């Protein structure tokens, strides 16, 4: 492992820990600002949306199998299936597409 | 009494089993993704053991793979994981009197979306033993899944590996689609984020912006628009819709 990679990992772990730890140690009161509360509430959905599309179309090496996997995930997620079920079905659908279509 | 048991270490372990199983399968995808981006299995496991967060790790991997800057890495982690601050803040109101400074320091390491959700769902205050149980098993699952995925990534056939690489995106979809279905604000935020992310990727004007920064910009843009046009109700407990 190179020094640069170790440096990346240290920064990742350090920042992630501080973000979790500081509020728990320092603040004892709730955030009052409605804007800040709303912003933080929406952050996870914004991150996940931005990271999923378009990156997912390059995840399998073939756009078609990725699209099939993504479509399967959307349908199951829409009907409220659990994380594991959605994740594994997306993989299964993409695999079948890889076998037959690509 | 069974009530006492459910509030101790074993109670935490028991409540964490579904989370641990989920993490095991999803981090498998992360392991494969990390190895296919040129990282060693050891590095992938080290990342999972020290970070314990899916979105942050995938974004981190993006920065590493594109040889991005260290500052970029720090800002990406800060923005993407900022939501944990809100969870920490909320959880700080829920810890019982048995928590010392040291146990607060330890518990804060393990705050994830799912662990936070389960802990906040408990009707009573949570003990440090309970939190220790609730965090340990998912942590083991997260690290083990990464190890198996990384190792399997080296021997699995190409088609299977490709298909499993999509698992982590499946998990992302499983988080934002049901939320977008329930709340118009979330739907709009996701659409803005996706649109911005596609523009950053395909419009030549933005070629100079690295992938890590692109995620940061999309996130801030979409979440700020959501906060501006669809502010959440701010009753007790914050968060939630």
**pLDDT (0 to 100) of residue B240:** 42
Mean pLDDT, chain B, whole residue set: 89
Domain ranges of chain A: 2-100
Query: Cis before residue A54, ω within 30 degrees of 0?
Result: yes
Mean pLDDT over A28-32 rounds to 66
* Best mutation target, B166, B179, B228, B230, to test chain A (most A CBs within 10 A): B166
Mean pLDDT over A9-37 rounds to 87
Angle at A44 between CA B68 and CA B15, to 5 degrees: 115
**Token match 């669809």: residue?**
B230
**pLDDT (0 to 100) of residue B65:** 93
Residue among B78, B36, B82 nearest B60 (CA)? B78
Rg (CA), chain A: 19
* Per-residue confidence band for A102, with pLDDT thresholds at 50, 70 and 90: low
Calculate what percentage of chain A has a pLDDT beyond 70.
94
Q: Which residue has the higher pLDDT, A92 or B18?
A: A92
Mean pLDDT over B84-90 rounds to 82
Cα–Cα distance for residue pair A52/A36, rounded to 1 Å: 25
Mean pLDDT over B16-25 rounds to 86
Cα–Cα distance for residue pair A94/B134, rounded to 1 Å: 33
Mean pLDDT over B124-141 rounds to 95
Domain ranges of chain B: 5-164, 183-229
Tokens of B36: 């296919």
Residues of B in contact with A37 (CB under 8 A): 86, 232, 234, 238-239
Contact indicator for A43, B239 with CB cutoff of 8 Å: no
Q: CB B17: neighbour CB atoms within 10 A?
A: 12
**pLDDT (0 to 100) of residue A44:** 82
Residues of B in contact with A24 (CB under 8 A): 88-89, 91-92, 104, 107-108, 111
The shortest C-alpha distance from B1 to chain A (Å) reads: 31
**pLDDT (0 to 100) of residue B88:** 87
Q: Report pLDDT digits (tens) over A1-19.
A: 789 999 999 999 999 999 9
Most confident of A33-37, B24-28, B39-43: B39-43
Most confident of A8-22, A41-55, A76-90, B200-214: A8-22
Calculate what percentage of chain A has a pLDDT beyond 90.
60
* Best mutation target, A37, A47, A53, A102, to test chain B (most B CBs within 10 A): A47
Q: Report pLDDT digits (tens) over B31-82.
A: 999 998 999 999 999 999 999 998 899 999 999 999 999 999 999 999 989 8
Q: Report pLDDT digits (tens) over B159-176.
A: 888 888 888 888 889 889
Q: Report pLDDT digits (tens) over B181-217.
A: 999 999 999 999 999 999 999 999 998 887 778 888 9
**pLDDT (0 to 100) of residue B235:** 54
């Amino acid at each position: 492992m190179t020094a640069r990679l170790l440096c990346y990992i240290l920064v990742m772990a350090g920042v992630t820990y501080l973000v979790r730890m500081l509020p728990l140690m320092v603040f004892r009161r709730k955030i009052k600002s409605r804007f800040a509360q709303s912003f933080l509430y929406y952050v996870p959905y914004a991150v996940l949306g931005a990271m999923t599309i378009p990156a997912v179309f390059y995840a399998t090496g073939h756009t078609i199998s990725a699209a099939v996997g993504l479509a399967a995930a959307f349908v199951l997620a829409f009907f409220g299936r659990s994380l594991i079920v959605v994740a594994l079905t997306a993989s299964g659908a993409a695999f079948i597409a890889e076998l037959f279509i690509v | 009494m069974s009530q006492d048991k459910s509030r101790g270490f074993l109670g935490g372990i028991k409540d964490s089993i579904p989370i641990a199983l989920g993490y095991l399968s999803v981090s498998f995808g992360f392991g494969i993704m990390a190895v296919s981006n040129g990282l060693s299995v050891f590095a992938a496991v080290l990342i999972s053991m020290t970070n314990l967060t899916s979105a942050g790790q995938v974004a981190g991997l993006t920065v590493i793979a594109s040889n991005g800057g260290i500052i970029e890495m720090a800002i990406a982690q800060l923005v993407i994981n900022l939501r944990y601050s809100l969870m920490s803040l909320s959880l700080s109101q829920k810890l019982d009197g048995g928590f010392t400074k040291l146990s607060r320091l330890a518990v804060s390491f393990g705050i994830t979306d799912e662990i936070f959700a389960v802990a906040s769902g408990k009707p009573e205050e949570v003990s440090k033993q309970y939190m220790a149980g609730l965090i340990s098993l998912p942590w083991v699952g997260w690290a083990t899944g990464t190890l198996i995925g990384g190792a399997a990534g080296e021997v699995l056939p190409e088609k299977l590996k490709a298909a499993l690489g999509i698992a982590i995106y499946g998990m992302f979809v499983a988080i934002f689609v049901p939320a977008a279905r329930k709340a118009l604000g979330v739907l709009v935020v996701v659409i803005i984020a996706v649109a911005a992310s596609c523009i950053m990727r395909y419009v030549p004007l933005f070629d100079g912006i690295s992938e890590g920064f692109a995620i940061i910009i999309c996130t801030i843009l979409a979440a700020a628009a959501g906060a501006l046009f669809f502010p959440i109700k701010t009753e007790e407990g914050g968060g939630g819709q």
